[in-house]
Amino acid sequence: MTNKFDTVITRQNSGSTKWDDAATLFGSTDVLPFWVADMDFPSPPAITEALAARVRHGIFGYPSPHSYAYDAVVSWMEKRHNWQTKPAWMVSTPGVVTAITLAVQTFTKAGDKIIIQPPVYPPFFASVQNQNRTVIENPLFYKDGSYHMDFDDLAVKAREAKMLILCSPHNPVGRVWSRPELAKLLEICLENNVLVLTDEIHGDLVYTGHQHIPLASLETGTEDKIITLTAPSKTFNTAGLYTSIAIIADSELRRQFSQTIQKLGINKSNVFGITALEAAYRHGAPWLDELLIYLEGNAEYLTEFISDNIPALKVNKPQGTYLAWLDCRNLNLSQQELVQFFAKKAKVGLNDGITFGRQGTGFMRLNFGCPRPLLAEGLQRIALAVKQLR
Ligand SMILES: Cc1ncc(COP(=O)(O)O)c(C=O)c1O
């Protein structure tokens, strides 16, 4: 039986950065792109229909505050993640990366130290450094086939830090943090008065045997010290709509954050973004359940293909996200050679591991949020190129 997610839809010339910028980025027109984190699937019909209805209405004046959409977020968080939130806690933001930058700006000052856990999503570094704050690295370590947090190191570094930016689930290593891990992290941060900014944009994309636990849902009575950033954009492939949510229980922190947004004049959201967000959270669950089965199938296909056909590479099946973190160190190439090898020899566009921090040396990130025939083609290209290396 055919699966709807198997259908390949051309994205060339659709204004997609993943496809239309690939030739410039990777230096070749015939590169298959597996880099920036969006998927090659259409969003669920519930979203496209809601957007079409909004377009048909034909009047696109200023939207009112979106309490109706926030209700949908509250019910999504409760049903999907067992987290009780309130519409009043929500602040609309034009993208999670922007929200990270705004939070850094609001809650820290120049020179302050901010902890991140590399290898990690590159804008975590940039949002700190671009505002003259100092990155403190609490690197993840690799043991028994998986990445872990180094709590001893965190306990030391938290003493001098003002904020920690958590990636949960973690991009690029694909960890879905367990309750004890999250509780330990929170305990250390609270002891040291470190504000936690938790980026949970990948929180809905979690595979069998794992559960995403919103940090602020831990029953420690400390949700007040946490700022949660999330969006339907990874889950439902709506990144181009730039609509995200900050969830902040503490009224004073929320007031300060909202004030920054207001001062910058970006406190109004886009009518299409909010329409899509509401439709996604109200009606998207059945589609998401199907997507997760498909993506997990891709994750298994990828890990089996690599272990059977490209033993020089190592990869673990991610616990969440549609991102695979390829250990290419056995190819014995310098980082520059590695990047050139994938772009020029294998003709696939992956993310350079070193952009996730120096811990990413020898690694590349592959986005498997695509129809399996495309994934299969990309993996075959890599296998062939690796054979020709020998
Ligand atoms: C951890 C993480 N945060 C944020 C983003 C991007 O969020 P936005 O497009 O809302 O700025 C990504 C995209 O890959 C991501 O992986």
Q: Where are the chain's structural domains?
A: 4-44+286-389, 62-283
* 159 Cα: distance to centroid of ligand 1 (angstroms): 28
pLDDT-based confidence at residue 36 (cuts at 50, 70, 90): very high
C-alpha span between 136 and 116 (Å, rounded): 6
pLDDT-based confidence at residue 68 (cuts at 50, 70, 90): confident
The CATH number for 62-283, chosen from 3.40.50.10380, 3.20.20.70, 3.40.640.10, 1.10.287.70, is 3.40.640.10
Residue type, 354: I
Structure tokens at 246: 């900050």
Does the beta carbon of 383 sit less than 6 angstroms from any atom of ligand 1?
A: no
Q: Is the pLDDT of residue 223 over 60?
A: no
Does the beta carbon of 96 sit less than 6 angstroms from any atom of ligand 1?
A: yes
CB atoms < 10 A from the CB of 115, how many?
Answer: 26
The CATH number for 4-44+286-389, chosen from 3.90.1150.10, 2.70.98.10, 3.40.50.300, 3.40.50.410, is 3.90.1150.10
Ligand 1 site-directed mutation target among 97, 102, 229, 365, most atoms within 8 Å of CB: 97
pLDDT, residue 67, reads 72
**In contact, 373 and 6? CB cutoff 8 Å:** yes
pLDDT-based confidence at residue 268 (cuts at 50, 70, 90): confident
Does the beta carbon of 200 sit less than 6 angstroms from any atom of ligand 1?
A: no
Q: Is the pLDDT of residue 221 over 70?
A: no
Does the beta carbon of 171 sit less than 6 angstroms from any atom of ligand 1?
A: yes
Q: Is the pLDDT of residue 74 over 70?
A: yes
pLDDT, residue 205, reads 98
C-alpha span between 64 and 269 (Å, rounded): 9
Q: Is the pLDDT of residue 25 over 70?
A: yes
pLDDT-based confidence at residue 2 (cuts at 50, 70, 90): confident
List CB contacts of 267: < 8 A, sequence separation 6 or more: 92, 258, 261
C-alpha span between 368 and 371 (Å, rounded): 8
